[in-house]
Amino acid sequence: MSHVTYKIVQHEDGWAYTVDGSYSETFRSHDQALAAARRAAGEQRVSGDTHGIVYEDAAGVVHEELSEGADRPETDVRG
């Protein structure tokens, strides 16, 4: 099982959470960013339907994968 960590950081004159180098929208307060990260982390653990996904990596290579609905990561929030 994979593990995903949401980190609360200062961002664009406010606060955001970051996951694997991607940033959320900017929030006015640390508490708002923390609440949003906790909500997102909780939603990511919920099982869903199996779907095909397509994404492009940093090198510009397109990947196609099957995402199993029951294969959800463990998550935590630091901040």
pLDDT attached to residue 70: 83
Report domain extents, the chain. Answer: 3-70
pLDDT attached to residue 49: 85
The Cα–Cα gap between 74 and 2 comes to 6
The Cα–Cα gap between 64 and 15 comes to 33
pLDDT attached to residue 11: 95
Q: Residue type at 28?
A: R
Quote the pTM value: 0.73
Tens of each residue's pLDDT in the chain, 79 residues:
699 999 999 999 999 999 988 999 999 999 999 999 999 999 988 888 888 888 888 888 999 998 788 888 899 999 8
pLDDT attached to residue 24: 96
From the list 72, 61, 58, 74, the residue with the least C-alpha distance to 4 is 74
The Cα–Cα gap between 22 and 6 comes to 10
